[in-house]
Amino acid sequence: MKDQIVQALSHSTGLTQAQLSEILIEPKELRYGDFSFPCYVLAKQWGIAPPECAKKLEQMLKPPPQVERTEAAGPYLNFFLKRAPQVERVIKEILTRREAIGSEQNSEHTIIIEYSSPNIAKPFHVGHLRTTVIGHALDRIYRHLGYRVISINHLGDWGTQFGFVWVGCELWGRPQNATVFDLVAYYTKAANLRKAQEKGEVPPEDAKYPDVNQMAREYFRKLEAGEKTAVDFWQWCLNISLDYLRNLYKRLGIHFDFYTGESFYRDQLKKTEQELRESGILEESRGAWGVNLGDKLGYVRLFTEDGRSLYITRDITAADYRYRTFNPLKILYVVGAPQKLHFQQLIGILKKMKHPAAERIVHVAYGNVPHVSTRTSSGAAERIWLHTLLEEAHERALHAYRHQVEKRPENLDEQAVAEAVGLGAIFFNYLSRSNVKEFNFTWEEALNFQGDTGPYVQYALARINSIQAKAANEGLPQPSAEINAELLTDDNAYSIVSLLSRFHATIRRAAEEYEPYHIALYVLELARTFSAAYKSLRVVGQEPELAKARLALFTAVKYVLQRGLNLIGVPPVERM
């Protein structure tokens, strides 16, 4: 419908359809119509004030047949659609497509999304959570739009930390049935001993141990050389960490197509070095080799004095591999905003190499969550393990549900509800604002069933399920798109229909801007609009045709809420 209004406006104003698509808005309030055109852009072109532009445009415009009337209101020209045909179109499309609503076919294009990327041999801390939930939401959004999505967890699985874990096992014995927490304990113990040795403050009972730093460096040298015992130990650490991470991701409802960390690209670094040298862009500086990107981006080291590659070198290798293997339309890196310079330099180097991957890389930056509170810890997210947050989410969600929801169904698995609500509270709280905006996470905000929260939207969805169950018990037929649309043209019903009509555009906007918060705010607004209207739109006890129409409307809301929550990773709750 928007496209047809844009065409009519283009014909009357001479503005391009692309310009008009950006300018034409959908008002929040029905009294301003279904669409509204701000005439400020015409004021300069026509040489008259915006309110006069609106009046003049109303006189000369020939609106599409679906528009019932236009109305000049100050500097705006408002468009009011014929409600019944709009209701019929929206309800029929949603009830026909169900949870496929808003989907597209783009399978000829591939989108790579790198996100989460925790370090191996360390527990997953809450500092990695924002990249995880943003990346997961983008993964689901692009899949729903029909793209072939490749999700990659670029693990920090290569580095000297393995040397200190190895030292711990050598000095104090390798633990049986080890967990990732055992690896951390050994790493910490060995690292502390190294610090004590460097300061000359070694306790008498530890004086017998050799130089820890030298042992760790020697292990890592053997690992880089590919010696079997070193590689086997590294693989042992990797397997323990992957088991731990996969269990966490399973609880979060997250799946990755590939777990390919830094180690995956080791064998390809020689090729990268050769291509860089052949390109003629490498310059020597104090024995190291790198690329000069000018005053703004500076000189970027790629190889150290002793020939070792650096992190950005491995990122160049990864970008080349991903381009050659998958030929993606885009490669999204969901990485914190402080890494902006790193990605500018990565793209700058690839451009100097004339590598086509340079034009396909997008840094999806996000801000920090400076403060997270749990019962056992409070402060920076990097100090709190994710499993601790999830356990507390479950406990707090169960308490909030039992104390904030008075009418709870019988024979309900409240533990399952608590798990879904706890996860929903975290995901929604993290995704209900722009990626780059920093915020502090508080349980009081995240778990408020009456606030702008995931649990509030989950509760609205459960309420619709309850309405459907009651309707079925009263013998009402299954929801159908074959309804009398005139019965849903009152403001209460039509405000819901108006919102439902915007779902697809909201998904597209979230994808185009890499901002899942558009979907979070959309489902919140839909839940609020439904909750404000449902008491005046009763189903049970109404005249059959009216009950049938309203049940179809609520069922359409249910499908859109389910899909919207699914796109941002929030689990649905059938009953609450």
Name every residue whose Cβ is closer than 8 Å to that of residue 433 and which is 6 or more positions away in sequence: 439, 517
Handedness of CA 561, 523, 371, 395 (dihedral sign): negative
Q: Which of 2, 56, 128, 352 is catalytic?
A: 128
E strand or H helix at 259: strand 258-259
Q: Where are the alpha helices (DSSP H) in 160-227?
A: 161-172, 180-199, 212-225
Q: How far is Cα 46 from Cα 432, in angstroms, rounded to an integer?
A: 41
Closest CA to 340 of 364, 315, 313, 316: 364
DSSP line for 370-382:
--EE-SS-EE-GG
Count how many Cα atoms sit within 13 Å of the Cα of residue 101 in the half-sphere of its side chain.
29
Q: Provide φ and ψ at 361, rounded to 5°.
A: -85, 135
Cα separation, 220 vs 82, in Å, equals: 72
The DSSP element (H or E) to which 153 belongs, if any, is: strand 148-153
d(CA 335, CA 311): 14
Instruction: Check residue 210 and report its DSSP letter.
Output: -
- Residue 12 CB contacts under 8 Å (≥ 6 apart), including other chains: 57, 60, 61, 62
Q: Is 299 helix (H, G, I), strand (E, B) or coil?
A: strand
Within 10 Å of residue 546's Cβ, how many Cβ atoms? 16
Active site residue 122: yes
Known catalytic membership, residue 62: no
Inter-axis angle of helices 544-567 and 454-473, nearest 10: 150
Residue 267 DSSP label: G
Q: How far apart are CA 269 and CA 313, in angstroms?
A: 8
Q: Please identify which of the residues 125, 136, 518, 548 carries the catalytic annotation.
A: 125
Q: Which residues of 163-177 are buried (b: 16+ CB within 10 A; e: fewer)?
A: bbbbbbbbbeeeeee
List CB contacts of 277: < 8 A, sequence separation 6 or more: none
Tokens 């649905």, residue located: 572
Q: Are strands 76-81 and 35-38 parallel, antiparallel or unpaired?
A: antiparallel
Eight-class DSSP state of 156: B
CA atoms within 13 A on the CB side of 27: 17
In this structure, what are the phi and psi dihedrals at residue 506, rounded to the nearest 5 degrees?
-65, -40
Contact 364, 333 (CB under 8 A): yes
Would you please indicate which residues are annotated as catalytic (active-site) residues? 122, 125, 128
